[in-house]
Structure 1
Amino acid sequence: MDDLPPSPAQVPRRLLTDPAFVRALRDRDFTTVFAVTHGVGISFNRIAEACTLKAERVSQIARGTTSVTALTTVERIAGGLRIPGALLGLAAQPWQDTAVLSTESSHGDDPMKRRNLLRGALAAGLTAPALAALTAARTDVDQTLFPGTPQDLADLEAAAESYGYGYHGQAPTGVLADLVTDFATLRPLLTVPQPAPVRTRLCRTAGQMAGMTAIVLHDLGNRRESRAWFATAARAAAESGDNQLYAWILAREAMVPLNYGAPKAAAGLAGQARHAAGNQPTAAAVLAAAVAARAYALNHQSEQARAALTSADALMNRLPESERSDTWLTYSEQKHHVHLSHAYTTLGDTRLAHESQLLALELSAPTSTMTRTLLNIDAAACAHHDGDSEEACRRTVAALTGLPDGYRTGLVRRRALDLYETIPAQRHRERAVRELREVLAP
């Protein structure tokens, strides 16, 4: 028919005899059909084009968030993927009499026979069967070329870059759901043999996405899952050969024990990150030095902490502009002062801590909810260190109660609890301290 899709993404013939795939076709389980088709190297965008469906609809079907019930949609899928009608409970499709061209080609039969079949189909002009025969011939070759340049890769790289800009006012759980969903789409591309440069890009993207997933899990307070995702990120980064990405992952992983009461372990990971990053001024190198400084400060190693701070400042001063943007994967001046704020607060150097807090707040976007809250808690801790525990409690309560739902957990709660635990027990009956305890109650 004239409305046959112009670019069918024909599924490999072997799938049409695979029991699981045939069962999914019989049940019209298109979530499985699309996932398996994607797994053999056919992108969701290509499926959408071939089946004349919107790319968003194909993505929803593949994720199981919507289903296919309309007969016309089932027929479009059958035509686009070149699935014989009988397997989907349909009548024979208009193109099925030409499918032999593709099958015979795959078996290496006489080219003259294939030529005669094609000439016969074209004798009546560019009819639907003739066009289907041409597309089948092209698709057979195109599918052998496709694994070398997967169309989804550029989209996934762009998605990783987008996630790097942080929460932007979104709840961490929402960002986590999107990240993990997109991360899962890497699996089919990684299971298909790829040229070395493509494999490198895939592993690099996997390392970035797994690392950012670990960051969100850390922020939500799930240390075990965060460490597991960091381990996956490190394996992907190591396979990609990107030493700076590997160093960045180790430095970010060091922040898990750093923020949850194991500064010695954090210093060890930060040390590994500094070694992997080397001496050049890179985002990973500055981050590793800053995290090491915070770990030393928490471990009461003030001399080592100040030496690491000096190194971090020196690297930051030489950091190229290309690595100074405000993302999770780079290292901005705002981020630098966030780390300095916590390090100097821990060291009890409240003057330098306040300077970094003010600069970090000035440089933070209004949507940086979690960062601004942590800076306010640092300022409260400085007030406590300077002898005004009542003011420290009031500022911490204000910071916590001003948070939207979903933020008063994980790292934010841990940092506030650290402050509360430094207040002497004999002051726990005071009104401001009681209010802080009530806000922190599970």
Structure 2
Amino acid sequence: MVEALATRTFSTVFSAAKAAGLSFNAIAAATGLKAERVSLIARGEGRVTGIDTIERIADGLRIPGAMLGLAARSWEDDANDIAAETRSAREDESMYRRELLRTALAAGLTAAPLNHVADVLAVADRALSVGGPADLSRLEAATEQHSFGYGGRVPTDVLADLLTDFADVTQLLQRPQPATTRVALARITGQLGGMTAVVLHDLGNRREAYAWFGTATHAAAESGDRSLHAWVLARKAMVPLNFGAPQAATELAEQARRTAGQGPTAAATLAAAVAGRAYALAGRRDEANSALRDADQLADTLPESERADSWFGHCEQKHHVHLSHALSALGETRRARESQTYALALSAPTSTLTRTLLRIDAATCQHRDGDTIGACQSAAAALADAPAHQRTGLTRSRAVDFYRKVPGPIRSAPEARGLAEMLAA
């Protein structure tokens, strides 16, 4: 395009504009040319030589004068001023929205905040269905920062920040973008959408999480990033996995494995580990062990670039968290405890969610080894030690799964009643 403008080859300029979604009628209306002439020029059957016509094209299509060998157009300074003002206003609006979301979400995921979460998702779905330059570096940096997880922050604060950046990306998707930029924006949308779904999942909002994973899957597929697509599917499988539908989880996990392919990637390793967990919970021991062997083999051969301690990487700590859950469900308590020990040693002190889940897995092993009363005490202590905002959602679901394993006669014991009362509260 730059070369075509420099040589004033308007057949290329008009054809590219048409391919990008600007009709010949729209070009004609903007430049004062007849639509028939625009069409002839685009086909190379008409030429533009008059300087007044070239200036009309520059002004109508907002092409900077220097790109056509003209003096700077009168509107260029105004456009730069307006762009700066627009950026400033957008940043102010983004900050206001972020603070408003934090306040609303901190009060709990009630109807009003969830309505806003749904609204942001609906706008993204519309934008992905629609075909200016975007500030990709800022968005990519923000996305990478989000990928390092909670870092001790309250999940609703993380959710507010994710939704704000997601809304910013959605605004860019709604505007015409070069193909390469749109691919990058689709990838960022898939990453931010997937991370938003993860937080909603951890908070126990499974329906909203499932919807966000659906949008993230659409975006990841559009971006052409196979690993991201597989990662979204594997994380989506963890919704039914953690909330009582392991059979549905196995199907999603296997879809993720097919999408990831055979290479040693974080997404392929995650998909195999999630499949192993799902098969274990479904009572399909042979398939569980096969998937876990594949996960171990992939984890051992991962390149360093795939081992990041982030939501998109697969570090050793994360691998042992998955193994802990799967092996506890299979009743292989010795191996499960080894993974729990490794995972706890590798977990940051701020990883309270992970530590709570590992302690509940340990209680499951304690029950499997015959000490159900002690296991009830251990599970209750794990919940009691967790921050108040983490005694719901995923941790509560895992503790409920444990309590369902407690035989009826034992449920009348004080330790079991204490756990039941904590879950009821």
TM-score (norm 1): 0.69
Between the aligned partners of 1:244 and 1:197, the Cα distance in structure 2 is 18
* 1:378 aligned partner: 361
> 1:174 is matched by which residue type in structure 2?
D
Structure 1 residues 372 and 62: alpha-carbon distance in aligned structure 2, compared to 1, 3 A threshold = closer
Is residue 2:212 matched to residue 1:215? no
Is residue 2:371 matched to residue 1:336? no
Q: CA deviation at 1:59?
A: 3.5
Structure 2 residue ranges without an equivalent (≥5): 1-79, 101-131
Of 337, 342, 349, the residue aligned with 1:354 is 337
1:322-333 alignment to 2 at 5 Å?
322-333=305-316
Is residue 2:159 matched to residue 1:150? no
**Identity value in percent:** 57
Q: Which digits, 9 at most, give the CA deviation of each residue in 1:184-233, with x for residues without a partner?
A: 11122101111111111100000000000100111111111000000000
RMSD value over aligned CA atoms?
A: 2.1
* 2:238 aligned partner: 255
* 2:210 aligned partner: 227
Of 365, 373, 394, the residue aligned with 1:390 is 373
Q: CA deviation at 1:405?
A: 2.1
Contact 1:48-1:54 at 8 Å conserved across structures: no
Structure 1 residues 47 and 336: alpha-carbon distance in aligned structure 2, compared to 1, 3 A threshold = farther
Structure 1 residue ranges without an equivalent (≥5): 1-44, 66-146
Contact 2:94-2:168 at 8 Å conserved across structures: no
Between the aligned partners of 2:81 and 2:221, the Cα distance in structure 1 is 31
Is residue 2:284 matched to residue 1:294? no
> 1:404 is matched by which residue type in structure 2?
P
* 1:369 aligned partner: 352
* 1:110 aligned partner: none
Rg larger in structure: 1
Between the aligned partners of 1:284 and 1:390, the Cα distance in structure 2 is 39
Q: CA deviation at 1:55?
A: 8.4
Is residue 2:254 matched to residue 1:271? yes
Is residue 2:402 matched to residue 1:419? yes
Structure 1 residues 46 and 157: alpha-carbon distance in aligned structure 2, compared to 1, 3 A threshold = farther
Between the aligned partners of 2:293 and 2:97, the Cα distance in structure 1 is 51
Q: CA deviation at 1:256?
A: 0.4
Between the aligned partners of 1:61 and 1:407, the Cα distance in structure 2 is 27
How many residues were matched structurally?
Answer: 316
Q: CA deviation at 1:398?
A: 1.1
Is residue 2:350 matched to residue 1:315? no
* 1:171 aligned partner: 154
Structure 1 residues 200 and 366: alpha-carbon distance in aligned structure 2, compared to 1, 3 A threshold = same
Between the aligned partners of 2:373 and 2:341, the Cα distance in structure 1 is 21
* 1:200 aligned partner: 183
Of 216, 227, 232, the residue aligned with 1:244 is 227
Runs of 4+ in structure 1 over 2 Å off: 45-65
Is residue 2:95 matched to residue 1:60? yes
Between the aligned partners of 1:180 and 1:384, the Cα distance in structure 2 is 40
* 1:439 aligned partner: 422
Q: CA deviation at 1:57?
A: 4.1
Between the aligned partners of 1:192 and 1:55, the Cα distance in structure 2 is 15
* 1:42 aligned partner: none
Contact 1:230-1:253 at 8 Å conserved across structures: yes
Q: Which digits, 9 at most, give the CA deviation of each residue in 1:62-90, with x for residues without a partner?
A: 7696xxxxxxxxxxxxxxxxxxxxxxxxx
Between the aligned partners of 2:368 and 2:235, the Cα distance in structure 1 is 28
Between the aligned partners of 1:308 and 1:291, the Cα distance in structure 2 is 9
Q: Which digits, 9 at most, give the CA deviation of each residue in 1:15-50, with x for residues without a partner?
A: xxxxxxxxxxxxxxxxxxxxxxxxxxxxxx997954
1:118-133 alignment to 2 at 5 Å?
none
Structure 1 residues 232 and 51: alpha-carbon distance in aligned structure 2, compared to 1, 3 A threshold = closer
